[in-house]
Amino acid sequence: MSSAIGIDDLAFATGSFRIDLAVLAERLGADPAKYYRGLGQSEMSVVAEDEDVVTLGAAAAQQILARGGADGVRTLMFATETGIDQSKSAGVYVHRLLGLGPNVRVVELKQACYSATAAMQFAAALVARDPSEKVLVIASDIARYELDTAAEPTQGAGAVAFTVTANPALLELEPANGVYTEDVMDFWRPNHSTTAIVDGKTSITAYLDAVAGAFDDYLTRGGAPFHAIDWFCYHQPFTKMAVKAHRHLADRAGSASDPAAVAARIEPTTGYNRRIGNSYTASVYLALLALLDGDEDLAGKRVAIASYGSGAVAEFLTGTVPANYRTALRAAENERRLADRVPVDDATYLALQHAARRRDPSNYETARQTPAPFRFGGVRDDQRIYEPTV
């Protein structure tokens, strides 16, 4: 009998600063309720000048290695749409920072917010071939949009790291999955730009169509019917998008979609994304982590992951939560990590945003700001500098 395969450990990291969306609302001339209730967001993380996707990803992964060690890790997959180099994987820098040995394959994956789920599926296949291996997956992104636009309040920054193993502690993947791809220009970031271009209305429609298409495919592959799934974790560019998506799927499945009932079903998955903001590839796994860390008893429950990346690719899959999953959590530590972020005013936030847009990107140093275990020191002769903070 083959072993179950899935997520054995899951940790996150985020920016050292945070800004309440009421602060943005004042500058943008908006009612804070537009963001608090309309988007379902209360604040967003902001990275220090010496933080980026590498330092965030390494900080998330370090928690996992500190608990479980690196034995058996022969693959590191780094999912991001915040690319730092057109050739070299961000994961190679992380490999060094974590002190991993040379016998590890490292690769970077990109497809907007979706690619961490592709990494998880590729990892599961590697573990199925050799159950003694474990794969380290990192999803790390910084969402940036033009200032003084409607998209500005949907920025954020975060990373998750998780291990895929046999006999996992947190989520045992079920065989069925559904996928969907369509060429849509709803969101993209050209090579010359540090900020993304988004067509908001098209993006919402593309999201709903893709998730529905992936769910339909999931059903044809032997997946569980809608009513047999206990909890749903959706990609959350803003948390109200998860509510929209769940209502859309419920309607298609002929299930009751009373607004209050839908919101109550999704609420346990929104706690971290509501405070971190959009973390692109990490978002759906922050939804899963919020659910796991919450008060609900998930032992034996079936949980869906509805992963979406603009452009557009979606996947729908399910897994079951093992009986003793709570022994593998770090809920108090996760709450402390969010609480320890330093609140900033609008002037400080704007200064940090402008610092990310360097006039000479080939040579510069960054200010020492982060209290995290790793920092980005800047660029010297077009080479990125990373170092421990201690």
List the catalytic residues: 81, 113, 235
Residue 198 forms beta bridges with which residues?
187
What is the Cα Rg of the chain in Å? 20
Q: Which residues contact 210 (CB under 8 A, 6 or more apart)?
A: 180, 181, 182, 308, 312, 313, 314
CA distance 168 to 279: 25
β-sheet with 134-143: strand ranges across: 105-109, 73-79, 134-143, 156-166, 5-14, 171-181, 313-320, 302-309, 231-234
Nearest to 144 by CA among 354, 385, 364: 354
Q: Which residues contact 78 (CB under 8 A, 6 or more apart)?
A: 57, 89, 90, 91, 94, 106, 107, 108, 109, 138, 139, 140
**Torsions phi, psi for 240 (to 5 deg):** -65, -20
